[in-house]
Chain A
Amino acid sequence: MKPVGERVVEWTLKGLAFSALASLLLIAVFIFMEGAPFMVRLGVKDFLFSSDWRPQEGHYGIFAMIVASVWVTLGAMLVGAPLGIAGAVFLNEFAPESVRRVIKPMIELLAGIPSVVYGFIGVMVVAPLIREHLGGAGLSVLAAALILGVMILPTVISISSDAIGSVPRSYREGALALGATRWQSVHMVVLKAARSGIAASVILGMGRAVGETMAVIMVAGNAVTIPHSPLDSVCTLTAKIALEMGSAVGLHRQALFATGVVLFIGIMVLNGLAMAAMKKRSART
Chain B
Amino acid sequence: MRIPPKASQAIAVALLGGATLLTLAVLVFVIVFVLGKGLPVINWAFLLDVPREMGKAGGIFPTIVGTLVLPLVAIAIALPMGVGTAVYLTEYTRPGRVTSVIRFGTDCLAGIPSIIFGLFGYIFFVTILRMGWCILSGALTLAIMVLPTIIRTAEEAIKAVPNSYREVSYSLGATRWETVLKAVLPNALPGIVTGVMLSVGRCIGETAAVIFTAGTALRLPDSLFDSARTMAVHFYILAREGISNENAYGTAAVLVISVLIVNSVSYWMMHKFISGRSA
Contacts and interface: CB of A to CB of B under 8 A. Distances in A.
Given A24-B109, A117-B255, A213 B16 contact: no
A125 B111 CA distance: 29
Interface in B177-213: 177, 201, 204-208, 211-212
A180 B204 CA distance: 48
A187 B239 contact: no
Contact of A115 (B15, B23, B148, B205): B205
B109 A3 contact: no
Contacts, number: 245
Given A14-B88, A16-B84, A109 B23 contact: no
B102 interface: yes
Interface string B103-116: 01111110111111
Contacts of A120: 235, 239, 248, 252
B84 A20 contact: no
Interface in B68-119: 80-81, 84-85, 87-89, 92, 101-102, 104-109, 111-119
Interface residues of B, number: 80
Given A113-B259, A114-B205, A268-B108, A181 B5 contact: yes
- Interface-centre pick from A103, A114, A150 (highest chain B CB count, 10 A): A114
A233 interface: no
B204 A214 contact: no
A238 B111 contact: no
A265 to B, nearest CB: 11
Contacts of B33: 121, 125
B9 A184 contact: yes
Interface stretch (A48-56, A58-66, A82-90, A134-142): A82-90
A1 interface: no
Interface string B30-58: 11011000000000000000000000000
A24 B117 CA distance: 10
A285 interface: no
Contact of B123 (A34, A204, A208, A268): A34
A211 interface: yes
A112 B262 contact: yes
Given A17-B88, A30-B123, A181-B6, A187 B12 contact: yes
Interface of B: 5-6, 8-9, 12-13, 15-17, 19-20, 22-24, 26-27, 30-31, 33-34, 80-81, 84-85, 87-89, 92, 101-102, 104-109, 111-120, 122-124, 128, 144, 147-148, 151, 175-177, 201, 204-208, 211-212, 232, 235-236, 239-240, 248, 252, 255-256, 259-260, 262-264, 267
6 contacts: A18-B105, A90-B16, A91-B20, A107-B23, A213-B115, A263-B116
